[in-house]
Structure formats: C-alpha cells, structure tokens
Structure 1
Amino acid sequence: MAKPTSNRPQVGPDRVLAEAPYRIGAVTLAVRDLDRLTRFYRDLLGLDIRSEADSAVRLGTGDATLLVLRHSPNARPRQPREAGLFHTAFLLPGRGDLGAWLRHAEEHGVALTGGADHLVSEAVYLDDPEGNGIEIYVDRPASAWQRAPDGTVVMRNERLDRAGLVAAATGPWSEMPAAARVGHIHLQVGDLDAAERFYASLLGFDVMCRYPGALFLGSGGYHHQLAGNVWNSRGAAVRSEGLTGLAEVALLVDGPTLASTRDRLREADVVLDEDGGALVVRDPWSIPVRLVPAT
C-alpha cells in the first residue's frame, strides 16, 4: 500500500507547518476538575477562553481553538503506563516568547519536569494539575535542522540554554501569542511498529526520526506533528472508556490528502465515522483521531 511522500523543508518552520498536508487542530482532554484546569491553562499558559458550553471549555489564541477541556467528573485517572497523552506541545513564535514564559513560570512557582535542546527546537516541559504533559517550545530555522544519511531529521536531548532564552525575552509574559499553535502531539503507545503502520502507512505521515523507544512523524517536511513512545507504556492494551486525559486529537487535513487517506483506511477495513465532513477513526489504542478538512 503506497503512501504519499513529502517535500523536504526549504523555508522557515512557520511556512512548513502552514503548508503541510496535516496540521494539529484542537486537542481535547477529559478532566475531572474543569474549573481548576481552566484557570491553569488561562492564567499560567495564557490561553484565552473562547467559549464555555455543554460542560466543555474551549481555549485558544487569536481565532484558533487549541485546547478543549471536557468535564468528566467521574472519569478514572489514567495510569502512567497506559496508552494516551505524553504531552501537548505548544509552539511559540520566537525564543523571546519562550524566555518570557520561563520568567513568568519562575515568578509563579511553576515546577518544570524538564527542558532540552533537541537541535531542531528548544523546549521545556511541565504537567497540568491532573498530570497531562505539556511541552512549550520554539523551533530553530528549518535550514539549521541536521539530516542523517537516510534523510531523516537528527534530534537529540542536549542541555537547554535556559539563561540564553531568558535573556532573549523582550518583555513580560502577558498571554499566549496570537501566532502560537499546537505544533505537535506526543503519545504514549503500546508498540512502535503498530503506531507506524497506523500513522505512517494509513494516515500518510513520514517517518522523520527514529529514536530509542520513540518514533517521530511529520507532514510536509516538518520535524514532527505526531510522535509516539513506549518509554512507560510498552505493551499497553487498548484504552478503556471513561479515562481522564486525551479524549481526541483533531488533525486539519488538506482536501487531496483527506481523500487519499479515506481510500487507504477503507481499503484496510478500518472503521470510519463520518461527522459533518470530518472522518473519525481510532488508532490501535482506541485514541480517537478526527480528520477535519482544512479551510
């Protein structure tokens, strides 16, 4: 079963993402304490509340919804070794924005879980109050991304220049910049081969980097819009219903890619739900993926 190929990036990461066949849309989380999680993402990450209705809060920047918090007070907390969300990654426009947020986090006593220079990007990590992982990052220019002999992108975990980032801030953090977006979503999966078959062979993502215990998948030449790892979840079974954490990820898909993906999924006898022009499909761990026509 052939899958489409992508051109390698020759322009900046913003344009690479904007022109990619796949982009991350809204990420939906099932949360037990809606008020607390809403305050966290509004006050500490700077997302705007776009709407509050039907036991759900939609947050975002500019005219885009990036995150949906769905109130599920009786949901069972997802265990660390189960399949699901590793982190939602918010991409900021520049180093100064990340530096400003780092100052903001320190002033508010936010505990970070890590930070790294990945060569393609600089990133910091934290958890929300219900344990959902978050990455806040800034890309390096696409022209600076290193390539392996096979054409994949070189990514590593190197020491973060935190002082340099903070020094790059040009003012205090007030809100998430309007140009910010969810750059990628990183999943905990049970098996990397199964993840590659679904997300690469069926959905059409390119394998951009293979890392011990992890797989990074990109579209349109971006280093990754999706990733999966088995660091904590190797062998994880299909998710049960009624869990906290990742409830759905929406992918914005251009027309030709959506049509060809629909054909491949039908050819493979994958169950598809049609919902107002979107396709809803579940990955091997029953994580709902909504394929939304890009506008």
Structure 2
Amino acid sequence: MILAIGGHDPGGGAGIQADIEAVAANGCHCTSAITCITFQDSCNVQALAPLPAQQVLAQVEAVLADCRVRAIKIGLIGSVEITEALAGLLESHPQIPLVLDPVLAAGGGTPLAGQLLLETIRQRLLPLTTLITPNSPEARRLADGPQTLEQCATQLLQQGSQGVLITGTHEADEQVINTLYLADGRRQRSNWQRLPGEYHGSGCTLAAAVAAGLAQGKSLEDAVNAALTFTWQSLAQGFRSGRCQSLPNRLYRLERGFKHD
C-alpha cells in the first residue's frame, strides 16, 4: 500500500490522479493526501492554492494510523508550512521508504517553488528521503550551484538522500539518459529512445512506480529499473487529453495495457 502526497490536477494528467493510476498499474493500492488545488489546463498551471498545513497533516495522519503503508511518494508540496509539517511527521516513520518527486515548475514553465521552499526541502525532507527523482533542471535548482549533473547528485546525496535518480529528458542528448546515483558511490545509467512530443505527468508516474516497487520489497535498483521501463511504455502509448493549442505536441501519460491482474 502506497501513500501519495501531492497536488490535484483537474485534467487528470499529473499529480495525485497520475500517482493512483501508476500505483494501481504496478499492483499496489494507493491512498492519498492532497497538498494543493491547482488551476491548470493541459498546457500549464495558472494558479496554485496550497491547503493549510494542518489539513494536509490530518490527512496523512489518518492514513498512517489506519493503513499498512509500505512506501510514501511526495510530489507537489506547495508551501514551506506543509513541508515542515510533513517532515515533522515523517521523522517518526523512518521505516517507511520515501520517494520524493521535487515538482518545482509546471510543464509550461510556471514556477511552483520559491527559494525558501527549496531550502526547506533541502534541510528537512532530503535527510528523510530514500530516493529523489529530479529532472535535470530540478537537480540543478536543488543543488544550488554545481552545473554538472554528477555534481548535483553528489550534493543531494551529501544533504541526506539515500539515492538520486536524475532523468535526462531536458538534456540535448540524442537518447534520454537517466542515471541513478547511490550513497555508497555506485552509479547506474540507462539509455532510452527519445519519444516525440512532450509528456505531462511523466515524473509523477515514474516516482509513483518506484514507490510501488519499494512497497513490494524490491531493492532500490530493481524498483528504479522496473519503474523506468513502465514509464517509457506508458509514454509510448500516450494520448492527447486536452485541446490546448499553445503546445500542440503535448502528449499524455497512459497506463492502459500495463495494469495488474
């Protein structure tokens, strides 16, 4: 059983709905806690309305008290207050693996995290994190200085995360290069065919699938490998769910065909 903590996308392409679909497709049940209401179409976020931190905390506490949660996935957080509240609670549950998808900007470019929130994530959540899954721009923002992705990963590991998976869709390489960096110094690199178009909710899908693998008892490496394969297959079957014209090539994540029996 997974607890997904994140924002609500009214179009269903990302956020909690993407988490639920990905977790179910990987054979687990997904509970959830909403951090933010978003106002967005299929291209970009127009506005963000974080819930009061105590409301988010009450949702999480209710699930943890009632359900046998085997992994937690955090996506869009929305405020420093929510970050602090979640960190304070999760410190008392160190046995539950935590996958952090640092949603720092919308696909259309709208920033979703300011400098103070970034610093709070670094100081409060990274030491509790089993795996953080930034894309390359997110890794550079979180590292706050180093420019090479390996330097970014090293800094994030030094700040407490047990593993860093940096995805390379935003880089200029012919193939997409995803690299898993582990605290013990190991590196695991995988190359993937670059698909045409852009994909909304791919980061949510990947992190949620990793959480499902960890909940099933897989090693971090095996959970990441399975999640990368699942996510690529989902993107390859993506479909356009909206009519937004500003990004006409935008495609959407879909898990059809990969659901468990």
Please, what TM-score do these two structures have when normalized by structure 2? 0.31
Q: Bigger relative contact order, structure 1 or 2, given CA contacts below 8 A and separation 6+?
A: 1
Normalized against structure 1, the TM-score is what?
0.28
Higher strand share: 1
Larger radius of gyration: 1
